[in-house]
Chain A
Amino acid sequence: MSGKDDTMFEEISDAWELVVGLEVHTELKTTTKLFCGCSNQFGSEPNTNICPVCLGLPGSLPVLNRHAVELSIRVGLALNCTVQASLFHRKNYFYPDMPKDYQISQYDLPLNIRGHLVLPSGHRVGIERAHMEEDTGKSSHLGGSGRISSASASLIDYNRSGVPLVEIVSAPDIHTPEQAREYVSELRSVLVAVGASDGKMEEGSLRVDANVSVRPRGSTELRTRCEIKNLNSLRSLGRAIAHEANRHIALYESGESPTQQTRFWDESGQVTGALRTKEEANDYRYFPEPDLVPLAPSQEWIQSIRDTLPELPQQRREWVMDLCGEATTNDRIETAISDELYPFLVATLRSGLSPQRVVARTSNELAAELPLPNYFSTERFVEICSLEERGELTPTQVKTLLTEATHDDAPISELIARLGLVAISADSLAEIVNSVIEESPAEWTRFVEGEQQLRGFLVGKIMKASKGKADGKVVGEMLVERVSAAKKVG
């Protein structure tokens, strides 16, 4: 995400406040589908993971997948929701990729209600509900604009039909495009952390709809909103929200009002367009699904799930921030607490190594080597970072060693020997510094007199003379010492 470009697109009038609520659909990472035993695997040959149930053949019946319920409860608990006795409803509407022409979803009694999510910025977004439902199949419309109305033919892949979803509905607590992105990004981390989702927006495992309205700043009213469907990247999300808000503002400022609509984001034109108005909206005729019994998880079950919840991103963030203090940037911390890197960070921190240094090594050098090979254990990372901590290797040498150690499973000592990575002793370094000063007397004098630009020149010469074995930081400190010594003498 290139911050500057996006914020340019996301400027909104100071007189108006943006009000956004997000509906995020996440596919659950179960082995099988929500109501049948078919495989829930992305990317199979079309129409290979199907059976009478997920094809909605006459006479077939749904049977609820217990693992999907467990993952849904994990999501609810991670979002601080209350888990309640719930009911499945049928949402009735016709569409070719929905085999039964109704979707089994939850309506007035969802599984998880009333939670919240605290964003890295500290902003708190209310969660109204997180309910279970089944996914539809996937249509590809051939010919025309790519929409069904103008298509010459449509192909339907029912592999996705019946894949378990959790729909997470936020309160209208989001007030900037940046907050919307932050919310989705944090929600994604939570879903991945609890093992509910693989979080792959590009594969559709996370799909976002945004309800957007604006109001005069300082007001608390909720004005007419428009729902923008299928915002499937953080970039589109921010831009679509800003565009839609500006459209509303322009309408209000010219004396008109927006009408309640479902809209889509046109990526190529960078505008939103109307799909259907409220009058054209479906009457879904919700009623309780008679083929399923009420879902009332026992308190014991809920507690046992709560007991196995992992550490959530916010908890990781707080812990690392406490250790590092102000000095480390948020970006570095966010990278270091990601699922792939966090175990390495934890291992180094638990070994008592300097927090700022290991956050830097984790979020920069180690992150650059993702995905890590299996033999690259947390112990291996601790061993390498300890060499730097004890001054046995310079940062430059550690970076070289890290790259090598993620590509070659030889023991660390062997790699060090092979690469000739021996930290230079303080005495030899002092000798090199002396000889560089002697070789460049004019530059040295100007440096002592305060010409700081020459610092790089001198450090460079010293590093070169040490064949990269010197620690740049130590060299810098040494130069400072020499300058003050020279000034005293002078």
Chain B
Amino acid sequence: MTAEGWRDELARRQEELVRALVGGGALPGGFNPRDVGATRDALLRKRAGEVARVWPRLATSVGPGRWAAEFGAWAAGRPPQGSLRDGWDYARAHPPTGAAVLELAERELLWSYDSSSAPRPRRGLGLRRVDGVFLVRFRGRIHRWSR
């Protein structure tokens, strides 16, 4: 095989393995299923922790000590899109309760997100009312009023 041939073969195998770890793909032949499975679970735990830092109220809203398992069950097989989008997609799939309602509403007011490409900042003035709280977007920041 040529040098390019080896590199293409390595690229194909690396992609196959990443797909098995984060994309729900089949385990490539020859790998130890238990060891790769432990890696897949560790990646999910790390990802859950990172999403919890960006979406702290969403993570606590599922109950004490529950986030890693709840998020992990949903995220398994879904390739990571970065913590902002991962938490957003999770929140849209599991409409939140409590303080997480406001967390999601603030994000929705600040950014335009179509669930398939990177969120884009919304421009101008924006207004939303959530749980009796008025949220106002002004110059890229959220201001809150409650009665």
Chain B associates with chain A: no
Mark B residues whose CB is within 8 Å of A. none
